[in-house]
Amino acid sequence: MTDPSPSSERWDSPSSMFPRLFEPLRIGSVTLRNRIVSSGHDTVMAVDGFVTDQLIAYQAARAAGGVGLIVVQVAGVHESARYTSHVLMATEDACIPGYRRLAETVHGHGSAIVGQIFHDGRELMESMDGTLPVALAPSAVPNERFHVMPRAMPIALIEEIRDGYASAARRLRDAGLDGVELVASHGYLPAQFLNPRVNVRTDRYGGDAGGRLRFLRETITAIRTEIGRDPILGLRISVDEITPEGLTPEDVLPALAALDADGLIDYVSVVAGTSATLAGSDHIVPPMTIPNAYTAPLAARAKAVVTVPVMVAGRINQPQEAERVLELGQADACVMTRALITDPLLPRKAASGRTDQIRACVGCNQACIGHFHAGYPISCIQYPESGRELRYGTRVPARRPRDVMVVGGGPGGLKAAAVAAERGHRVTLYEMARRVGGQVLLAERLPGRAEFGGVVTNLAGEAERAGVRIVTGTTVDLDVVRREAPDIVIVATGAGPRRPAVELSGDAVVLDAWEVLHGAAIPGGRTVIADWRCDWIGLGVAELAAGRGHRVTLGVDGYMAGQRIQQYVRDAMIESAARAGVETVPLVRLFGYDGSAVFFQHVLTGEAVIVEDVASLILAQGHEPVDDVLTMLSDPDTFGGEVHGIGDCLAPRTVEEAVLEGLTVASAI
């Protein structure tokens, strides 16, 4: 069966399994039904700065799933706050109708809603037309990540932006939101004023701790004056930016204590990291290599100096993790944003004790923050319905249930089978191996990526609950298809390792990444990894080999290792490889190996790049489709039924495309 409709499911609160998590929480004048929060995150669903139907549907799914509080993504408070081309804006009253529809929809499902108000300062990601605008900051101190040199703000502009926060807050209040959250986190403008390494002013907005706090304090006062006492006013802040020249707890905690003493804020939302550096920005959306709930001790330090409720964000993926944070008194509410992208029904499942049905986030960052960085609406590799609620938010029953055969039990095949069965089709899935999972079973063996195996656990569970008959250890050929006589065949046979034609001589020991992950021994001495795809495979195998004591050189056919994967994941993997002593050679294509030297060719100059004294060569050269079943069944003289190919058997790509195509095909048949 599919996930139950929220409207038909009993809502029991508090939950006996998670009594603290499902205890109501009073914030200002509003009582949350539980302590699960979806924090502000850019969905890339705004158009021309306005709320859209797509954004409303996206947030409605989380509200219907039972979340206590939804914090809407950042809205610019001044024209200079357009840090991306798809940011929401709250600078004109024209924004109010869209926000009103959003608030009414969320309230209709029982969730509270506040909106983030925001100025990026020097943290400028992109422009509207390709030309670089003037970035603003307290002082002309550049950032490291975007290489932006800002303009020091004159006092008149500081006051104008301060008043812009207040006006934006009033618009969100008038739209019916429960309040606003002032973003002072991740090195954005208010944090820049707080930071003595960034704010080197000597006027009243700098000079000492009180001067550096003035902008934030005046802004909070202006907001409260504008919106009155009843609407919520929250503050999001990085208690530790975890980067050189960043804010430290010694900077932030006294500021929080002073702001709390003013009595104008209703909650503090604690995060870590900063947009200003590569290492600091990794904590904005920490990858799976970061421990779960790792920021909870920072929240506890904030809770010790303020009297208002404290929320915390930082890889809190499961209700038991959130319950533990609350039980220890480290925070009063837990932000579970990516967990709710992966499974909007997480609160309802947890409240009703169906924890085994929760689709757990694996921290891959591919379709959530990865899509945002690429300028596309966010989604989830496991649950591509996220962000596509207008099209796939409801399972439409099949008009005529039919017999469906799915060939291949990787993520794409599992998704196709689950969705087809949920719609009422009779589905059998065949997998050649003893276990379903496909390439995920290899990916989880890479260092630091064991959590990725949860993709198979989640998708296999969905298929089983939907009633899919799963047959493993069976190779599908024409006889099997004719015996089963399905009406529809969905082919999801995946791909295998690509072995390009290269010059080999001597006693060359050549392995591919799949063989290494299956346990093949790597000869002692230097090993070279030839990485064509520039994703997590080459980097992961390099770290694995280095961890076994090999001297490793990673040759990549791109500008950098991990070039094709999301920045925060890439940063973590490059860091681990560097610590393991992996030597990286960029911009090289594999040419040959004579058993002693590996020969590369520089992709720009065409000149030879030679790595000598090499004991083995490991290939990470991408994949080739395994499409024999698809080719066979596509011949109408062979099989007269309906045939669809999905995933890597069409063209080798990633889990995301396979699962999405599984959803797309199974929703259409």
Could you tell me if 636 and 607 lie in one domain? Answer: no
Query: Per the structure, how many domains does the chain have?
Result: 3
Burial 457-475 (b: 16+ CB within 10 A, else e): ebbbbbbbbbebebeeeee
24 within some domain: yes
Q: Look up tokens 């999301």; give the residue.
A: 566
Q: Say what the pLDDT of residue 461 is.
A: 98
359 within some domain: no
Taking only the tens place, the pLDDT of each residue in 302-333 is 999 999 999 999 999 999 999 999 999 999 99
Distance CA(361)–CA(354), nearest Å, equals 16
| Last residue in a domain, options 585, 600, 621 | 621
pLDDT mean by block of 10 residues, the chain; 669 residues? 42 72 98 98 98 98 98 98 94 98 98 98 87 94 96 98 98 98 98 98 98 98 98 98 97 98 98 97 97 98 98 97 98 98 98 96 98 97 98 97 98 98 98 97 97 97 98 97 97 97 91 97 97 98 97 98 97 97 98 97 98 98 98 93 97 98 98
Q: Say what the pLDDT of residue 15 is.
A: 67
Could you tell me if 614 and 629 lie in one domain? Answer: no
SS3 389: helix
SS3 51: coil
Could you tell me if 480 and 519 lie in one domain? Answer: no
Q: Say what the pLDDT of residue 6 is.
A: 41
SS3 333: strand
- DSSP letter string, 84-132: STT-EE-SSGGGHHHHHHHHHHHHHTT-EEEEEEE--TT-----SSSSP
* Strand 495-497, strand 623-625: pairing: antiparallel
pTM value is 0.96
| Last residue in a domain, options 586, 602, 621 | 621
Long-range (24+ apart) CB contacts under 8 A made by 661-665 are: 661/412, 661/416, 662/411, 662/412, 662/413, 662/414, 662/415, 662/416, 662/417, 662/419, 662/490, 662/492, 663/384, 663/385, 663/392, 663/415, 663/416, 663/419, 665/416, 665/490
- Residue 326: which of 113, 19, 69 has the closest Cα? 19
Distance CA(547)–CA(339), nearest Å, equals 31
Q: Say what the pLDDT of residue 14 is.
A: 52
| Last residue in a domain, options 338, 358, 389 | 338
CATH number of domain containing 421 = 3.40.50.720
- Residue 192: which of 233, 238, 223 has the closest Cα? 238
Q: Give, in degrees to the nearest 5, the angle at Cα 324 between 318 and 327.
A: 140
Task: Provide the β-strand partners of residue 180.
Answer: 115, 233
Residue 583: give the domain boundaries.
503-621
Residue 426: its H or E element: strand 426-431
CATH number of domain containing 545 = 3.50.50.60
540 within some domain: yes
The separation between CA 421 and the C-alpha centre of its own chain, rounded to angstroms, equals: 28
Q: Say what the pLDDT of residue 10 is.
A: 47
Q: Say what the pLDDT of residue 128 is.
A: 78
489 within some domain: yes
Could you tell me if 443 and 334 lie in one domain? Answer: no
CATH number of domain containing 43 = 3.20.20.70
Q: Say what the pLDDT of residue 100 is.
A: 98
- Residue 227: which of 261, 256, 264, 267 has the closest Cα? 264
Distance CA(586)–CA(557), nearest Å, equals 6
Taking only the tens place, the pLDDT of each residue in 9-30 is 444 445 689 999 999 999 999 9
Q: Say what the pLDDT of residue 129 is.
A: 83
Could you tell me if 315 and 407 lie in one domain? Answer: no
Distance CA(99)–CA(525), nearest Å, equals 62
Q: How many helices (H) and strands (E) does the chain have?
A: 22, 29
Distance CA(369)–CA(285), nearest Å, equals 7
Rg (CA), the chain: 27
Q: What length is written for the chain?
A: 669
Residue 465: its H or E element: helix 454-465
Could you tell me if 311 and 419 lie in one domain? Answer: no
Query: With the C-alpha atoms ordered 139, 142, 146, 151, is the resulting torsion angle positive or negative?
Result: positive
Backbone angles phi, psi at 438, to 5 degrees: 60, -140
379 within some domain: no
